Amino acid sequence: MTKQQERSARKGNLLAAFELYQQAKDGGSREQEEARQEWFDLCWNYIQAPAQDNLNVYQPENSFNLRSLSMTDFRRFAQLSVNFEEDLTIIIGDNGKGKTSILTAIARTLSWFSANILREDSSGQRLNEYSDIKNDTEKTFTDVNSSFTYGKGLKNISVRLSRSVPGAAERRESSVKPVKELADVWRVINEGLKVNLPLFAFYSVERSHPFSKQTRESHEKREERFDAYNQALSGAGRFDHFAEWFIYLHKRSDAEDMAMIAVLEAQSTALKNVLNSGVESVRPLVEETNKKLAILKRKLLTHRTSKTMSEATQMEIVSTAITSVIPSISRIWVDTASGTDIIRVINDGNDVSIEQISDGQRVFLGLVADLARRMVMLNPVLKNPLEGQGIVLIDEIELHLHPRWQQVVVPSLRTVFPNIQFIITTHSPIVLSTTHRECIREFRENDENGEYYLDLPPIQTKGNENSEILEQVMHVSSTPMNISESYLLSDFERSLLKNGDDLSRESHAIMEEITKHFGEGSTAVKKAESVLRLHLMKNKIARAKRNKDTRG
């Protein structure tokens, strides 16, 4: 069995390599030590190895992804299956179709990974026996089946969350052993030598909750690395959690020490000038100031040489993420000039405090900042922690976003977080116009049984016009059908069919109403003029044909 395990491990089976490492861990002989190191190195490299060493952007050789999801009698679904792309999947459909239910099912499953990375043999979020089981089901349970892949050595990690209805004769057990086995690898190998860990996060519509002001005491709270998993799948992603962490980094950063060094050096120079002028009484102050200065410089040097990544570097990485994704913000920093720690931003060229930007901006900033914060905490071995892996769920990504921002949100997130698998929902044709058709899953109804399934949209969406996507993909007229002004152009066209080249009184009246309502330079007026030109051209062709027939 061991020889077979060894062959499997050397061929890239992560779990086989980890089991061999565990078996050799307690041995004391030199041979066992060498074997232990070999299996440990195989595991560590499987987790850490880049696909290629010469890439400007880190790409893991072994990517962790959600491949598919299948739900049985979960909430409104009797049966629903979804296949996911490795980088991005967008789910669309009318309100009430179940988009959020899909994200919730995924979040519940991911919570078992997070829980077992934090602590051996832990439990994640369980399905609810009242709210998660379909009301009219004939079965006595619900199942949520997920299939994950992790590189070439783990092509099918199957997980099932189950829950029985109250009073069921038999209890339906979940199958989460594969989750615990993989989480054990991440946790144990990381304890031996740090590895980058995957992020699992869910940003629900609850992220629109109001911004809470931070208290001065909360800024002193220290966050450890594994705190990155705390409340990551609760859905909120609130900005105040980021603000506490960002101010904490500032307080411990080189920037603060360097500012104090500058102050002490200025004081030392001033005191020396006084001492040189003959005032001997300031000598003890000069010595005390120089002593403080030497201590602070030694601290700064030790701090810079002992840390994998300084607080200042972490702040810079997160700041770059925010300014890269959010169009209006060009800088974010902590201002202490007033004696109080205040996060400030340059927003559309204006220097304002974070409390002065709009709620919509703050909601989006909160999402990006929270995501960047967790990535920095979980990926200390990467030069750019934002290139770490993970699965991130975002419900209604366009929430509070101006249309201009909707055009850049998905491309920007994918650029800044290149190895994250994003699974999102949207109602925005603008968002869909930035995404390839293969990444979109559209709810459709089965004509035979009325059940819903997910399929690709009928047309290419990337680069397409919003009106085309609205009508062909989202099945909504690009003009409101219940507004009388929407029919002015068709009324104008019908009035032309009754007349020759000269406009009738009706046609003149409709044209004047179009111009008055939509404006002279509007698209509607241009369309009406185009319709008129086409009408006149058709009349001209028809006359020419009649004249030709008459002469013939």
Quick: pLDDT tens for 306-355: 455 777 788 888 888 998 888 888 888 888 878 888 898 999 889 998 88
Residue 304 has pLDDT above 60, yes or no: no
**Model confidence over 84-105: pLDDT tens digits?**
999 999 999 998 889 999 999 9
Contact (CB, 8 A) for 410 and 434: yes
Phi-psi region of 151 (alpha: psi -120 to 50; beta: other; left: phi over 0): left
Helices assigned H by DSSP within 379-522: 403-406, 409-416, 429-432, 466-472, 488-497, 505-518
Residue 255 pLDDT? 58
- Sort residue 62 into left (φ over 0), alpha (ψ -120 to 50) or beta: beta
309 contacts 380 by C-beta, under 8 angstroms: yes
**Percent helix / strand / coil, the chain, rounded to 5:** 50, 15, 35
Report pLDDT for 205: 86
Question: HEC string of 512-546?
Answer: HHHHHHHCCCCHHHHHHHHHHHHHHHHHHHHHHHH
Categorize the per-residue pLDDT at 219 as very low, low, confident or very high, splitting at 50, 70 and 90.
Answer: very low
253 vs 395, residue with greater confidence: 395
Q: What is the pLDDT, as a whole number, of residue 242?
A: 81
- Which pLDDT does position 394 carry in this prediction? 95
Identity of the amino acid at 257: D
The domain ranges of the chain are 2-48, 64-251+310-472, 254-306, 484-551
- Across the range 229-236, mean pLDDT stands at 83
Stretch 414-443: mean pLDDT = 95
Q: Which of 262-271, 383-392, 466-475 has the lowest mean pLDDT?
A: 262-271
Instruction: Return the higher-pLDDT residue of 432 and 338.
Output: 432
Of the listed ranges 208-212, 296-300, 475-479, the one predicted with least confidence:
208-212
The listed range with the strongest mean pLDDT (175-179, 234-238, 365-369) is: 175-179
**Top-ranked range on mean pLDDT: pick from 97-101, 238-242, 281-285, 474-478:** 97-101
Per-residue pLDDT, 215:
45
- What's residue 256's pLDDT? 57
pLDDT band, residue 300 (cuts 50/70/90)? low
Predicted pLDDT of residue 63: 95
β-partners of residue 141 are 164
* Angle CA 527–529–533, to nearest 5: 115
In sequence order, the 6+-apart residues with CB closer than 8 A to the CB of 51 are 59, 60, 61
How large is the angle between the packed helices 359-378 and 311-325, nearest 10 degrees? Answer: 140
CA distance linking residue 66 with residue 83, whole number of Å = 9
Tell me what pLDDT residue 542 has.
76
Buried b (16+ CB within 10 A) or exposed e, 138-156: eebbbbbbbbbbbbebbee
**Most confident of the following: 193-202, 395-404, 478-487:** 193-202
**CATH top class, domain 64-251+310-472:** alpha beta
CA distances from 113 to 87, 319, 362 (A): 19, 29, 30
* Neighbouring C-beta atoms of residue 234, cutoff 10 Å: 16
pLDDT-derived band at 217 (thresholds 50, 70, 90) equals: very low
Q: How far apart are CA 393 and CA 286, in angstroms?
A: 58
What is the value of pTM for the model shown? Answer: 0.82
- Comparing 96-105, 153-162, 374-383, 505-514, which segment has the lowest mean pLDDT? 505-514
**Has residue 53 got a pLDDT over 80?**
no
pLDDT of residue 426: 95
| Average confidence (pLDDT) over 479-488 | 78
pLDDT for 68 = 96
pLDDT at 218 over 70: no
Which range is least confidently modeled, 36-45, 257-266, 523-532? 257-266
164's enclosing H/E stretch is: strand 154-164
Query: What secondary structure letter does DSSP report for 62?
Result: S
3-state secondary structure of 317: helix
β-pairing verdict for 141-150 and 452-455: unpaired
Split at pLDDT 50, 70, 90, the class of 117 is very high
CA 396 to chain CA centroid, Å, is: 11
Query: Which 3 state secondary structure label does DSSP give 346?
Result: strand
Average pLDDT for the chain: 85
Cα 246 from Cα 376, distance rounded (Å):
12
Instruction: Examine the pLDDT at 538 and tell me if it is beyond 90.
Output: no
Can you state the angle between helices 523-551 and 505-518, rounded to 10 degrees? Answer: 150
Query: What distance lies between CA 74 and its chain's CA centroid?
Result: 25
- What is the residue type of 332? I
State residue 305's pLDDT score: 44
275-288 average pLDDT score? 84
Torsional sign, CA 316, 318, 321, 326:
negative
Q: Residue 29's pLDDT band (boundaries 50, 70, 90)? A: confident
pLDDT of residue 57: 86
Q: Residue 357: helix, strand or coil by DSSP?
A: coil
- Asked if 104 and 205 count as a contact pair (C-beta separation under 8 A), the reply is no
Both tokens of 202, joined, read 């869910």
Q: Which is more confidently placed, 248 or 62?
A: 62
Percent of the chain with pLDDT over 70: 90
pLDDT band at residue 216, thresholds of 50, 70 and 90? very low
The confidence band for 213, taking pLDDT boundaries of 50, 70 and 90, is low
pLDDT at 207: 72
Lowest mean pLDDT among 26-35, 93-102, 163-172, 179-188: 26-35
124 within 8 A of 111, measured Cβ to Cβ: yes
How far is Cα 198 from Cα 230, in angstroms, rounded to an integer?
A: 14
Contact predicate 470/436, CB 8 Å: no
Per-residue pLDDT band for 446 (boundaries 50, 70, 90) equals confident
Q: Which amino acid is at 469?
A: I
* Beta carbons within 8 Å of 340's beta carbon, 6+ residues apart: 216
